[in-house]
Structure 1
Amino acid sequence: MTGSGLILVDKPGGMTSHDVVSRVRRAAGTRKVGHAGTLDPMATGLLILGINSSTRLLTYIVGADKEYLATIRLGAASTTDDAEGDLLAPAAQSDLDAVTEEAIRAGIARLTGEIEQVPSSVSAIKVDGKRAYARVRAGEQVELRPRAVTVSEFELISIRRDTGAIDLDVRVVCSSGTYIRSLARDLGAGLGVGGHLSALRRTRVGAYHVRDAHDLATLDAEAALVPAADAAGRLFERLELTEQQAIDLTHGRRIHIADWEGPGGEPVAAIAPTGTLVGLIEFRGKEARTLVNFPTDEAVGPAGTA
């Protein structure tokens, strides 16, 4: 069985995130696989998967900021705010012709910073215990409440004009929970011509970039695995333990680090002398307690073996 760690996958279009999880389960020879943040079937790009005990790290990755490259098509809204839905009434060509670059940039500026955003009605947000998209598919009207999100960068890369549409290539850096589909919808609505998302690629999640991701079709799970200690070391400050400190933490005891000068209240990756991840710990002054323990006996072997 594959050991514990993260696998970065460049998700192809047309697959759900669950499809990718299923494929990686087979490649890694374990059912203990989870992912840090869904990508819609239309979207491509970085999907971070946790293998075995490293699924516990995903909690700390889900909330990281994200970067996307996207194409927004102005000229019509859609029932799903993206190209997979039915297009609504198209804008008149004269209205599209009247949309200037200055107006587009002003609209983007209004959607940058800390904003209130209404998620798409076909999002995975639960409404009274049921996913919003499931309610929409069942014919229900769903109205979601606005939520505060942060769009730290909303960059206009290029504008392409065609009959009946204006395509905007953009780069967005945003907080977790931001819907790029909703940005497309709101930009089009603000310009009076409607808009929807026609392409989306996630290029970064926190410290992880899609350039380090692997092609799903040729994935070698063993070779692609980022060991748990290395994965945690990219997310948090590292603490190299003595053998006795590693034993103490493994048994749930607190440890005292007389010369510790790192931040308090933040997770720290505790690494054993063998190089394995003992757990995530939290300091209060010079004393640390375990937040999450990791098993030290997860063997690394050929996929499908224990």
Structure 2
Amino acid sequence: MYTETSTHILLTGGQGKTSSRIAQLLHGQGYLIRRAGRSISKPGNEQVGEHAPFDWFDDSNHDDLLQDVHAVYLVAPASMHPEEVMIPFIRRALDASVRRFVLLSSASIPENGPVFGPVHRYLREHAPEWAVLRPSYFMQNLTDARHGHGQSLRQSGHLYTAAGDGKIGFVDADDIAAVGFHALTDKEPHNRELIITGPESLTYDDVAGVIRSVTGLNAKHIRVTPEQLTERHKAAGLPESYAEYLAGMDVRIRLEGMEDQVTDTVLRVTGREPRSLEQFILEHRHGFHLINQEVR
């Protein structure tokens, strides 16, 4: 149990896929948590730590959020230029004597890339202690009804991508959170980027095949054009520039293989093997059986 300090770890994106899981891990080890986000926990959902309202684009309470904080987990807003609000926030945190920062980025986006890249670079150049998590695509996207894949599986049993035969090292958010927990709490700072993948690299055809074999759902991968995928993202509420960028990432997966990699990060950092997609779907098969009933 952690008992050395009364200061908090601030988790932005407090109800998100990784922040919520990191919160549970931190709480289990006795850390004080401040979960910051625009959404609040729904009635009946377990809430650990204190919750504070937070909006990247409204800095009126940012100084208050950073009081008595020694580490921050950074989850960017859905924007092509999150550095415009994130770097000023990081400066405030540094002025408030926060020492450690962990950024959630993407395996697709290096330090010299767009979106998260400028924030990645700023942390490396200015933060005393830092880590950048660069996970591959989340397995939870297949089960989350708010995500395009989870939604389309519920509506039709299909996965729509412009990725073709490109491969991806799909990773469980639990494994990402476990790495994030260590990056936030290990005595020695990581001071590096951490590319996080599952144990294998798969095409979307492979993914549909695993879903079929494990659940009986007649899942199919439907190949669409980047333009069609952009329209799907926009229909889901994403800004046009961000929707176009995400569709373009599918093209790069297909043409450049930019997500076709497998790393040992989960094992090296946490001491356990990452969960495979088959294991993940097997553990969530009840949800897929419900989908099967909906799309028949």
Q: Fold-level match, TM-score > 0.5?
A: no
Which structure shows the bigger proportion of residues in helix conformation?
2
Per the shorter chain, which TM-score range? under 0.3
Structure with max Cα Rg: 1
| TM value normalised by structure 1 | 0.22
| TM value normalised by structure 2 | 0.23
Q: Which has the higher contact order (CA 8 A, sep 6+)?
A: 1
Which structure shows the bigger proportion of residues in strand conformation?
1
